[in-house]
Amino acid sequence: MVFYIAVSFLSGILCARLRWNIVAAVAGLIPAGVVFLIATQEHDAPTLRTHIVRIAWCALCFLFGACYLNLYVAWHTRAALLPFGTTVDFTAIVSGAPMRTDKYEIIPVASTNPSGQAIALFESLKSDGQYKYGDLLQISGKIESPKTAADDPAMFFANVDFVAADKGSWLVGKMIGFKTAILKKFDAVLPQDEAALLGGITVGGTAGMSSALKDAMSVSGTSYITTMYGFKIAIITLMLGETLAGILPRRMIFLFAVAVIVLFLVMSGGSASAARAGIMSALALFAKESGRIFNMKNALALSATGMALFDPRILMEPAFQLSFLSILGIVYLAPPLKTLIHYRSPGILEWRENAIIAATTLAAIMPVILADFGSFSLTAFFSNTFIMMAVLPLMVLGLAVASLGALSYYLSFFVAKMAEILLWYQLGVIKIFTAFVMPLPTIFGTPVFAVAYYCALIAFAARHETTQRMAIE
């Protein structure tokens, strides 16, 4: 029941953000809920009265989600006190690592007023390296309203004066500095694109990546390998557990692993996918430590609800949507797909397992990619299968290069050259599948198709779950 309440709350936020008719949505969801609950009931099914109570709770949570979004936006807008379209003077703190593109240096800042309004400063490339996290700035300029619900307000070429340093969080500053140091070690021993790709695979992000490589990864459908935070955290915690087993008590290993997850989340910049991965991993570790069965469905719903309570606008961020849909695809589509193809073994270099991960992930996120980015190539299923084969060894080699770089340049250089062979392989795959694309028609990105498509996926997964439950009984 917790899952359905959480989903109802999230659905209310989403419908309010899309400006749908809330009353009509509730009127349509209530009969759909009745049919779903009755169709999925088990032998110890509750009474009709219990069904009605559950549906009533879901409807109330749906309405609360819609109201919560409107109240949040109203409070946030009034508290910001930063009007759009007029020139304003205010102070702000650099709230994250500046990002460099081909045209701008984008500096994320948060105003020092009580709301902490997030604003993206677009400066010329000459300002590269001038400001860093925690700097207090005096800013004067015109604030432009966000283009989409997921964007922050922006300021272009504002007058910026440095006031003071180290005004942000000490921990965040240290972790961002740590990530920057790792990326610099990669830059010291590898060419630009190879270093940027290894950095994205190891710690996430596209810092230092050329626009040509970004475009090639987008066309080939391999962009998400730089944001696979769940995979990265799983590898780090696994290596940590194997290293400390027998040295520290299990409870200490658990606490240490949770601390590492938190630090990795901060280092990655706290993106939606990283936040989801961190929360999910922490819940899984807690369930394992307490001896309870880990319920992936509830963990996903609760982590999404927690982030939505903090900022309901996050539901419209493509990174958030892709992150949750991808893990749902792996968890709920992989088992029926394995049954369908009579899966027996992962194959040489685990190519079958990589193929299933790529297929289920991309199947789950395809409509969102079409809606947000305008195109999706069917060859992405193949490119991601080949790319995934080298991700794990590159993560290990990347961590080795970063660690050895603090001891000896020559040792890190030697390991980096081993990693460069695999990076050449990945770049070759990206280049090949940039030339071979099979784009889907734009009609597949329409809301009607998306609803029908996800209903088909849910039916596919539900049928497999029902078959498995009947086989057990």
Q: Rounded to the nearest 5°, which phi and psi values hold at 374?
A: 85, -5
Looking at residue 416, its pLDDT comes to 92
Q: How open is the CA angle 385-222-268, to the nearest 5 degrees?
A: 115
40-82 per-position pLDDT tens digit: 554 445 566 666 777 778 778 888 888 888 787 777 665 555 6
149-185 per-position pLDDT tens digit: 556 788 888 888 888 888 887 877 877 788 888 888 8
Looking at residue 43, its pLDDT comes to 45
Looking at residue 432, its pLDDT comes to 92
The whole-number mean pLDDT for each consecutive block of 10 residues of the chain, a chain of 473 residues, reads: 77 74 64 57 56 75 81 67 76 82 80 76 70 87 73 83 85 79 88 89 80 85 75 68 74 79 71 67 65 64 80 75 76 81 72 77 82 77 83 86 86 91 93 86 75 80 70 59
As annotated, the residues of the chain forming the CATH 2.40.50.140 domain(s) are 87-168
Looking at residue 38, its pLDDT comes to 54
Q: CA–CA separation, 297 vs 309, rounded Å?
A: 18
Q: CA–CA separation, 3 vs 118, rounded Å?
A: 31
Q: Rounded to the nearest 5°, which phi and psi values hold at 97?
A: -75, 130
* CATH class of the 87-168 domain in this structure: mainly beta
- Pick from 149, 175, 1: which is nearest to 76 by CA? 149
Looking at residue 395, its pLDDT comes to 84
Name the token pair of 313.
Answer: 């606008």
Angle between helix 391-405 and helix 170-189 axes, rounded to 10 deg: 100
Burial of 177 (0-12, 13-18, 19+ CB in 10 A): middle
Integer Rg of the chain from CA: 24
Name the token pair of 428.
Answer: 């070759």
Looking at residue 296, its pLDDT comes to 66
Cβ–Cβ < 8 Å for 420, 197: no
